[in-house]
Amino acid sequence: MSDPAPNPPPSAPVAEFRVPTAFFLGMSHWIRVWMIQQMAEGAEITPSLVARQFQLNGDSANHHCKMLLKGGLVSSRKGEDRRTTVYFIPEPIRQHPGFLDYGWCQFRIR
């Protein structure tokens, strides 16, 4: 039997506290869980990437991205061409490999 994973050291909250229902609603779909897993490793996601990955239309892919943003799970910025929005998890939230620390909520990503 292996030892349980150690708890990461506490860190200062870097994400704005959101209503917990919006936060967990953001995690309530398997596509969004996949997105969080990718971003937890430092990847940046665009709606067009999600649309290609899962053969979705642009509106559906955009909806998934916005649900994560609305729940406070991710941040966003304009892409280089200014027409695309890029979604990402800020580095302070993902300082410890395999863990996301939102200040008020901490969980392990697999």
CATH number (domain holding residue 82):
1.10.10.10
**Residue 1 maps to a domain:** no
**Residue 15 maps to a domain:** no
Amino acid identity, residue 97? P
Amino acid identity, residue 32? R
**Residue 9 maps to a domain:** no
* Residue-level pLDDT at 18: 64
* Residue-level pLDDT at 66: 96
**Residue 75 maps to a domain:** yes
**What is the Cα–Cα distance from 92 to 102, expressed in whole angstroms?**
9
> Cβ distance 11 to 92 under 8 Å?
yes
> Cβ distance 93 to 100 under 8 Å?
yes
pTM above threshold 0.85: no
**Residue 14 maps to a domain:** no
**Residue 40 maps to a domain:** yes
Please provide residue 36's backbone torsions phi and psi, each rounded to the nearest 5 degrees.
-60, -40
List pLDDT tens digits, range 6-56: 554 444 445 555 678 889 999 999 999 999 999 999 999 999 999 999 999
**Residue 54 maps to a domain:** yes
**Residue 12 maps to a domain:** no
Structural domain span for residue 67: 21-108
Kind of pairing between the strands at 85-88 and 75-78: antiparallel
List pLDDT tens digits, range 56-109: 999 999 999 999 999 999 999 999 888 899 999 999 999 988 899 988 888 898
Number of domains in the chain: 1
DSSP category for residue 6: P
* Whether the predicted pLDDT of 4 surpasses 60: no
